[in-house]
Structure 1
Amino acid sequence: MVVQDIAYVELFTKDKRSTTDYFVSALGFTRVADSVEVDRSSILLRQGDVQVVVTTGRATWKFCDEHGDGIADIAMTCDDVTATRDAALRAGARTETSPRGDTVVSGFGDVVHTLVPAPASAADRLPPRRTWVPLDGPHHPPGRVQSLDHIAVCLSGGTLDPYARFYQDGFGLDRFYSEYVSVGDQAMDSIVVRNPRGGVTFTLVAPDPGKHTGQLDAFLERNGGPGVQHLAFLVDDIIPAVRECKQRGVDFLTTPDAYYDVLADRFPDLRAIVGELRDTQVLADRDEWGHLLQLFSRSPHERNTLFYELIQRQGSRGFGSSNIRALYEAVERERLTAG
């Protein structure tokens, strides 16, 4: 069976207030509803088609102790929950316990997938089997996020192909793209798996165990194993989106001026906006279908693991092939400066 869309992502944290404030005040999400259970309390945030559940409480402590703040559940919609669960189990997933009776299977590391029926309407998008109390304000100016473009997953070296097959066989995703990037004496491998409609896209990345350790190894160490490295939010116009996020307090990675000195020669049809790209530090790339513009935040979380991306697609279907190297180098500079 093929999963359809990301229903929501659930972020476990020990500080629900500050995490929620970041999503609302900095990224422009809206508080939608609250849910309180015996061992946890949650708040549902929404922007465009993206739903983020921020959860704290006793049920989250073990995950947070081992991994810090992070995405613990990537819930996916499907036409037939039972058939999708059975396919995932045949592919090697485990059934996970759910106190609410949800259908939950293991994913990677300690991240799980709750399988939920496809909603009949927008009104049915609330995560099921919880009692949600609607919230009314305070309201902040809305952000520009339209949807969740992709989820980047950092895996241990040597496990990339098995996990790609797991998502192909268990959830009906197709292998869309792969790339090996070498930077100095370090290297990373990546495979993109997605469903035909593009509603579920995982960018799987892993360090090359035969090379020197680098940022992906550092992520795995800080995170206590595999986990979600970043969430990529699709926007319709990235330049004002970045400016607004910066004004709200989002801290983005920086790019050397030399990158922009040659950008007009690489992409002549972007010459008119190179100045704005330089000013906002937005990265640009092109594939056979069109342009892609993207920028990555620094992690706002204590362990410096999970971070966020803004991405605009001007026809492009790829993932910024040349920018993967730029991102790798930018994060590596940050890592070396911090360490």
Structure 2
Amino acid sequence: MSTLDNTSLQLPKENPEAEDFLPLLGTDYIELYVGNAKQAAHYYMAAWGFQPLAYAGLETGLKDRVSYVLQQGKIRLVLTSPLKPGGEINKHIDAHGDGVKVIALWVDDAAKSYKETVDRGAKAYLAPKTIGDNEGEVVLSGIHTYGETVHIFVERKNYKGAFMPGYQVWNPFYRPSDVGLKYVDHIVGNVGWNEMNKWCEFYAKVMGFAQLVSFDDKDISTEYTALMSKVMSNGNGRIKFPINEPADGRKKSQIEEYIEFYNGAGVQHMALATDNIIETVTSLKNRGVEFLTVPSSYYDDVLDRVGHIDEDLLPLRELGILIDRDDEGYLLQIFTKPILDRPTMFIEIIQRKGAKSFGKGNFKALFEAIEREQKTRGTL
């Protein structure tokens, strides 16, 4: 059975300004359309420690696509590739390269979630439908969001299987150990010029979210580039969606680079949480995952800025892990280089020690590191 608890929950409200009329129980899965799902699955297993969970393809009666489902902690990835030319998946991959198509949200009532959001102005993607097998049934529905990204609402309280009907258990011999990833902390979307407020208003009006924090070009800027960002959150705080847009700068920002290569708005990165970032990042680096680096001088005065932390500074310095503090505590974070051939999606590893913010104190060092990578690509 899935490690996500299928019990209906009344979760405490963390973001009091959010209406939370759905409500959302968590991130159910993230589906990427990829050029070669079999090889992508091997990458996320070998490099990232995801465990094989379920499979759908020719052997399960599908004729047009194949999907591999991987899980680590409460994080589920679905990797989907087309089996024939033409069609939606090929079109998506041709336009965007590998990328996130679906951010699926775990709900108690998929039909109600669909009605609430469509009635409030969401563009329908999938009318409520029930699918079943001998393990029970799952109800699905969906709406469009920024770019070609969609939200699927997943109601699985009456399902006991590994993933959902239409999939079979995937149990290969190769099962590398995990790296300690626990859950999706937040998912960041990049949108075009002057579109940030539009999509923040969408999440507020259509989904009952409220703004948690905002950053302007004074917060997120370097000598050359800038961007704007607002973080939208649902009431219980389990779903956090920062939305970025470009801001005027002397050179091409990372958001502009993303939009150019992704060919529009889309998911920029997933932030995955761990309880021990030193162990997790050490494992990832040993498996070949490449991270952005900051100058060693970053660590010379970092403790003057953030105060006492429980961890030794030396391994944080050696691994390039960044530190920031807010009124609630501190956090540790690090960002990979793009994990795809196009300079689009990357992954953040985050460990929260009480902090509920997003590392504002690290923005300058982080963005200068990204600019160094952009310079090597000739896209700055």
TM-score by length of 1: 0.93
- The answer as to 2:33 corresponding to 1:12 is yes
2:294 corresponds to which of 255, 267, 270: 255
- Corresponding residue of 2:118: 89
Cα displacement string for residues 152-209 of structure 1 (whole angstroms, at most 9, x for unaligned residues): 1111120111101111222222211111122224221111111222221111111125
Q: Using the alignment, how far apart are the partners of 1:211 and 1:92 within structure 2?
A: 37
Secondary structure of residue in 2 paired with 1:4: strand
Q: Using the alignment, how far apart are the partners of 1:44 and 1:210 within structure 2?
A: 41
Matches within 5 A, 1:70-219: 70-96=99-125, 102-119=140-157, 123=160, 126=163, 128-180=164-216, 181-208=220-247, 212-219=251-258
User: Which amino acid in structure 2 is aligned with residue 230 of structure 1?
Assistant: H
Q: Using the alignment, how far apart are the partners of 1:228 and 1:95 within structure 2?
A: 20
Matched-pair identity in %: 31
- Corresponding residue of 1:21: 42
- Corresponding residue of 2:16: none
Secondary structure of residue in 1 paired with 2:205: helix
CA contact (8 A) 1:73 1:113 kept: yes
User: Which amino acid in structure 2 is aligned with residue 151 of structure 1?
Assistant: I
Q: Using the alignment, how far apart are the partners of 1:99 and 1:316 within structure 2?
A: 37
Deviation at 1:136, TM superposition (A): 3.9
1:3 corresponds to which of 1, 24, 33: 24
Deviation at 1:266, TM superposition (A): 1.7
Deviation at 1:271, TM superposition (A): 8.4
CA contact (8 A) 1:7 1:125 kept: no
Deviation at 1:125, TM superposition (A): 6.4
- The answer as to 2:82 corresponding to 1:61 is no
Q: Using the alignment, how far apart are the partners of 1:73 and 1:272 within structure 2?
A: 36
Q: Using the alignment, how far apart are the partners of 1:119 and 1:23 within structure 2?
A: 28
Cα displacement string for residues 31-66 of structure 1 (whole angstroms, at most 9, x for unaligned residues): 111111221100000000000000101442110000
CA contact (8 A) 2:114 2:127 kept: no
CA contact (8 A) 1:35 1:133 kept: no
CA contact (8 A) 2:224 2:249 kept: no
Cα displacement string for residues 115-156 of structure 1 (whole angstroms, at most 9, x for unaligned residues): 1115367x4561x44233332431111220010000011111
Q: Using the alignment, how far apart are the partners of 1:50 and 1:41 within structure 2?
A: 20
Deviation at 1:4, TM superposition (A): 2.3
Cα distance change, pair 331–100 in 1 and its aligned pair in 2 (3 A): farther
- Corresponding residue of 1:41: 66
Higher CA-based Rg: 2
CA contact (8 A) 1:87 1:169 kept: no
- Corresponding residue of 2:316: 277
CA contact (8 A) 1:103 1:114 kept: yes
- Corresponding residue of 1:323: 362
- The answer as to 2:334 corresponding to 1:295 is yes
Q: Which moved more, 1:197-206 or 1:133-142?
A: 133-142
Q: Using the alignment, how far apart are the partners of 2:46 and 2:191 within structure 1?
A: 31
Runs of 5+ consecutive residues of structure 2 not aligned to the other structure: 1-21, 131-139
Q: Using the alignment, how far apart are the partners of 2:332 and 2:311 within structure 1?
A: 14
TM-score by length of 2: 0.84
Runs of 5+ consecutive residues of structure 1 not aligned to the other structure: none
Deviation at 1:249, TM superposition (A): 0.9
Q: Using the alignment, how far apart are the partners of 2:166 and 2:127 within structure 1?
A: 12
Cα distance change, pair 98–334 in 1 and its aligned pair in 2 (3 A): farther
1:226 corresponds to which of 247, 265, 268: 265
CA contact (8 A) 2:54 2:162 kept: no
CA contact (8 A) 2:189 2:241 kept: yes
Cα distance change, pair 87–98 in 1 and its aligned pair in 2 (3 A): closer
Higher helix share: 1
CA contact (8 A) 1:8 1:52 kept: yes
Secondary structure of residue in 1 paired with 2:316: helix
Deviation at 1:330, TM superposition (A): 1.2
Q: Using the alignment, how far apart are the partners of 1:319 and 1:140 within structure 2?
A: 31
CA contact (8 A) 2:193 2:245 kept: yes
